[in-house]
Amino acid sequence: MGVGHHEAAWRHPRTEPARLTDVRHYQDLARIAERGKLDSVFLADGVALHGNVAHNALGGLEPLTLLSALAAVTDHIGLIATVSTTYNEPFHVARKFASLDHISGGRAGWNIVTSAGEAEAGNFGVERPAHAARYARATEFLEVVRKLWDSWEDDAILGDRVRGHYADIGKIHAIEHAGEHFAVRGPLNTSRSPQGHPLLVQAGSSEDGKEFAARYAEAVFTAQQTLAEGQEFYADLKGRLAGYGRRPDELLVLPGISPIIGSTEREALRLEKELEDLIIPAYGLAQLSHMTGIDLTEDALDEPLPDVPVETEGAQSRRKLVVDLARRERLTVRQLLGRLAGGRGHRVVAGTPEQIADQIQEWFLDGAADGFNIMPPILPAGLSDFVDHVVPELQTRGLFRHEYEGRTLRDNYGLARPASQYAARQELVVAG
Amino acid sequence: MGVGHHEAAWRHPRTEPARLTDVRHYQDLARIAERGKLDSVFLADGVALHGNVAHNALGGLEPLTLLSALAAVTDHIGLIATVSTTYNEPFHVARKFASLDHISGGRAGWNIVTSAGEAEAGNFGVERPAHAARYARATEFLEVVRKLWDSWEDDAILGDRVRGHYADIGKIHAIEHAGEHFAVRGPLNTSRSPQGHPLLVQAGSSEDGKEFAARYAEAVFTAQQTLAEGQEFYADLKGRLAGYGRRPDELLVLPGISPIIGSTEREALRLEKELEDLIIPAYGLAQLSHMTGIDLTEDALDEPLPDVPVETEGAQSRRKLVVDLARRERLTVRQLLGRLAGGRGHRVVAGTPEQIADQIQEWFLDGAADGFNIMPPILPAGLSDFVDHVVPELQTRGLFRHEYEGRTLRDNYGLARPASQYAARQELVVAG
């Protein structure tokens, strides 16, 4: 979101960085996405000022507040907000997503992240938490949030004005959670929302991240550079679901793709070059240093990436991707910066609408993707180009919907609405 | 908000309790309030299911997400959300309000509360905090939030695309707060919002509450039953401002009033009686028991309120108000329930639009109020009656605006926009 996924987007003449905090800019984007029958808009987020604001358009809006304002002007598009489990309380998070789900008529999704960075830890007065500790907390956090979402059964509200019975309190449950990280009595003070559970999304590709996704996630955003890597990730993740009693189709794999679209290939490459020319090396170097853990200076620009260990504490899957990319394509640091500037590790594809559609088709039919996270380099132009030119091409090929399947995000993703765990328990008692 | 401030509102034929989680209901209310040129809508809140949901319409929406959705369909009305300092982190709260302030074009307000209840503590795995500890935390919380709101100076964003300078990082400040309750590095990752600081509102009337209000609040919601009590509270609070280097007009006192409006006095009294007849004694008794700390049963309904100590740990100002009311008017428990059902301790006035306007005029001109928190017994009908009949009467008397004074909530409240404390510091250096 913002003014585009290319790090130099804000300098391109077809963007308006002054609109970074203008809600109408995001409402326009959501309406364009809805015109294109896209499933959802997704807001990445962190709880610190990341990156060098001297050279990039940072300091935008908070996702949950923003998505409510988008809900008010749209009817179908899903609304997915990133919220961390690391510095939050499950009661607050469960309630805000339940509320967004009510407000949007069942279109809320939660991209669950943990917060790894120094900068984020510094805003909450704690030491940077270890990788395993973050996932242990996240796991218990999810258990609590799901209990809270289930704490009102679907038919708890009677609304009997004559007798004065508003709710059947036998169907509103204290959750009495008492675990290692959280003690939460419940119930939630917002009734069960249209989707039952807002959609659960996850994006970490570390070993812990994949296990977490296999257990809880219903959609996974992932950065994969090559078809082979995409297929491997897809098969790996889908294969883990059975371990949690889930079917492969209960989780959708959505690799990121940044499409640089031109009406001719030459026009697309010209746009790509325009953006590359606007890159500020100092900005990208700082990002790359942060990502790889290597202190890189301008002197290193035309050298290959120095040797670094690529696996540390089982985490940092993005670091491995970046180092592998540099090695595989024998890129200098400057060339690597150009590749990363487009999508921070996500795949960048420049071409005509047909060429973009070819790439999407290949990954979709060859077992690397159930869908895609479309990350236009510049906004709104890159999104309207995608919606007006790539979507019709995909529709013609029979690969994309002409109309939304339903009213909720779950309907459009083809995912079931979960039952309340408390209702299920009651039914078992009745059946037994 | 909800379906009305009378506890039996949900049973009245002119409300629709099924709309409790329907955002369009609240959007309708906000539009009616805006049609009446009211300053703001205000959402009370707590982080537990308070009251007995068996007999009242509870379990509605979370304020911050809801207000963003109201911002999207209104242009002038202020949007005030209640958020507690007790179980939150200042970084999250500062950011969400800054975001709402951007989204609404400068119409955000924060009603600052602390969380005293057992039920709330139980949702966050802690013991119920002591009164003084809650206010100590709240005070430091406010200091941190204000620093974060100031961390981007007004002119920090350059947006210089040609040179590639997005922001002047000399004007974006780490706050480096290190206190007893919080350590927060900053800066905020949302740029400075239209109002600089979203409006600060407070509602506690205990001794600590009044000191906190005198130090930070720009508007105070309060429950006062009689003109004399209202005048005393008003003078008391205004008198405390000088101690914090503030002028009396930097804080607005807004007593609550629940107007039961009829085109004749008889019609108003009939509506009041209709609502009284819908009261469920068991519900009110539980609320009153909670409020007074006395265990009251149905046997006690036609007796006077038992003797209780009215001052405990310097807090519980609402308890004192309730006990004083029962004593002063020699009410039985049943009569007291009727009085409290309308406004939970706020003043209930039944009458014609002219009679309501008389009451408002008296308190306003006689030093008990700068404005009022209008709490209609049933919604939306009670609000549209107020807007269509009481507001024109007040306008005719020259007591209320015909048009909004400005675009921000501060403009309409007549309050100044605060400068960034970091900018001020820099100017002092330059001046020195």
Determine which of A103, A160, A188, A276 to mutate to test the interface with B (most B C-beta atoms within 10 Å): A103
- pLDDT of A291: 80
Q: What ipTM was predicted for this assembly?
A: 0.95
Q: Which of B13, B99, B169 sits opposite A53 (nearest CB)?
A: B169
B284 — contact with chain A (CB < 8 Å)?
no
- Nearest by CB to residue A183, choosing from B96, B119, B125, is B125
Contact residues, chain A, for B184 at CB < 8 Å: 122-125
| B2 in A contact zone (CB under 8 Å) | no
Share of chain B above pLDDT 90, in %: 80
- What is the pLDDT at residue B432? 38
| Beta-carbon separation of A187 and B159 below 8 A | no
Q: Does B91 touch chain A (CB under 8 A)?
A: yes
In angstroms, the CA A122 to CA A129 distance is: 11
Angle of the A265-277 helix axis to the A333-343 helix axis, nearest 10: 110
- Looking at residue A46, its pLDDT comes to 94
pLDDT number for residue B347: 93
> What distances in angstroms separate CA B187 from CA A122, A166, A355, B180, one per listed residue?
10, 46, 43, 19
Instruction: State whether residue B119 sits within 8 Å of chain A by CB.
Output: yes
Q: What is the mean pLDDT of residues A71-75?
A: 98
Mean residue pLDDT of chain B comes to 93
pLDDT of residue B174: 97
d(CA B332, CA B302): 5
CA distance A199 to A98: 11
- Closest listed residue to residue A69, CA positions, set B97, B205, B66: B66
Interchain proximity A280–B164, CB inside 8 Å: yes
pLDDT in tens, A217-266: 999 999 999 999 999 999 999 999 999 999 999 999 999 999 999 999 99
Mean pLDDT of the A266-270 span: 97
Contact A53 B182 (CB under 8 A): no
pTM, 2 dp: 0.95
Residues of B in contact with A59 (CB under 8 A): 152, 157, 167, 188-191
> Under DSSP, is residue A347 helix (H, G, I), strand (E, B) or coil?
strand
Q: Give the span between the Cα atoms of B47 and B54, in whole angstroms.
A: 18
Check CB contact of B164 with chain A, cutoff 8 Å. Answer: yes
Q: Which of residues 51-90 of A touch B (CB under 8 A)?
A: 52-62, 64-73, 87-89
Mean pLDDT is lowest, of A22-36, A369-383, A418-432, B143-157, for A418-432
- Identify which of B87, B91, B164 has the shortest CB distance to residue A55: B164
- pLDDT of res. B339: 83
Q: Is B3 on the interface with A (CB under 8 A)?
A: no
The model's pLDDT over B20-57, given as tens digits with 9 standing for 90+, comes to 999 999 999 999 999 999 999 999 999 999 878 999 99
Could you give the domains of chain B? 9-262+349-431 (3.20.20.30)
Give the lowest-confidence range in A116-130, B26-40, B186-200, B245-259: A116-130
Identify whether the C-beta of residue A181 lies closer than 8 Å to the C-beta of residue A136.
yes
Residue numbers in the known binding site of A for FMN are 45, 82, 131, 135, 205-206
pLDDT for residue B311: 56
Average pLDDT value for residue range B317-337: 86
Residue A313: pLDDT above 70?
A: no
CB contact under 8 A, B68 and A73: no
> Are B10 and A166 a contacting pair at CB < 8 A?
yes
Residue among B191, B240, B233 at smallest CA distance from B217: B240
pLDDT tens digit sequence for B146-186: 999 999 999 999 999 999 999 999 999 999 999 999 999 99
| Residue A312 CA: distances (Å) to CA of A211, A293, A309, A320, A364 | 18, 10, 7, 10, 32
Position B191 pLDDT exceeds 60: yes
Residues of A whose CB is below 8 A from B125: 182-184
- Which one of B48, B68, B161 has the shortest CB-CB distance to A65? B68
Most A CBs within 10 A among B68, B188, B279, hence the mutation to make, goes to B68
Nearest CA in chain B to A118: B185
Q: For residue B11, give the chain A residue with the closest CA.
A: A161
From A309's Cα to the closest Cα of chain B, the distance in A is 30
pLDDT at A251: 98
For B18, which residue in chain A has the nearest alpha carbon?
A159
| Average pLDDT score over residue span B400-416 | 97
Question: Is the minimum CB–CB distance between A191 and chain B shorter than 8 Å?
Answer: yes
At residue B312, the pLDDT reads 52
CB count, 10 Å around CB of B362?
13
Q: For residue B431, what pLDDT is reported? A: 46
A21 — contact with chain B (CB < 8 Å)?
yes
pLDDT at res. B100? 98
Instruction: Sort out which chain B residues have CB atoms less than 8 A from A122's CB and list them.
Output: 183-185
Number of Cβ within a 10 Å radius of residue A429: 8
The answer to whether residue A308 scores a pLDDT higher than 80 is no
How many Å lie between the alpha carbon of A67 and the closest alpha carbon of chain B?
8
Q: Report the chain B residue with the minimal C-alpha distance to residue A96.
A: B62
Check B54 against A169: CB less than 8 A apart: yes
Q: What is the per-residue DSSP string for A86-110?
A: SSS-HHHHHHHHHHHHHHTTS-EEE
pLDDT tens sequence across B85-141: 999 999 999 999 999 999 999 999 999 999 988 999 999 999 888 989 999 999 999
Cross-strand partners of A81 = A43, A110
- Smallest Cβ distance to B69: which of A46, A71, A185? A71
* Confidence check: pLDDT of A276 > 50: yes
Nearest CA in chain B to A279: B164
CB contact under 8 A, A103 and B164: no
Alpha-carbon distance B280 to B10, whole Å? 12
Identify whether the C-beta of residue B134 lies closer than 8 Å to the C-beta of residue B121: no
Q: Provide the mean pLDDT of chain A.
A: 93
> How far is Cα B335 from Cα A312, in angstroms, rounded to an integer?
70
Tell me the chain A residues in contact with residue B23 when contact means C-beta distances shorter than 8 Å: 71-72, 102-103
Task: Give A229→chain B minimum CA distance, Å.
Answer: 34
Structure token pair of residue A412: 């459009």
Contacts of residue B266, defined as CB under 8 A and 6 or more positions apart, other chains included, come to none
**Is the pLDDT reported for residue B430 higher than 60?**
no
Is A430's pLDDT higher than 60?
no
- Tell me the CA distances in angstroms from B383 to A104, B4, B409, one per residue in order: 25, 9, 20
Q: Test B72 with A185 for CB contact under 8 angstroms.
A: no
- Predicted local distance difference test score (pLDDT) of residue A415: 97
Look at residue A312 in the predicted model and tell me its pLDDT: 52
Nearest residue of B to residue A192, measured between CA atoms: B59
In this prediction, residue A427 carries a pLDDT of 53
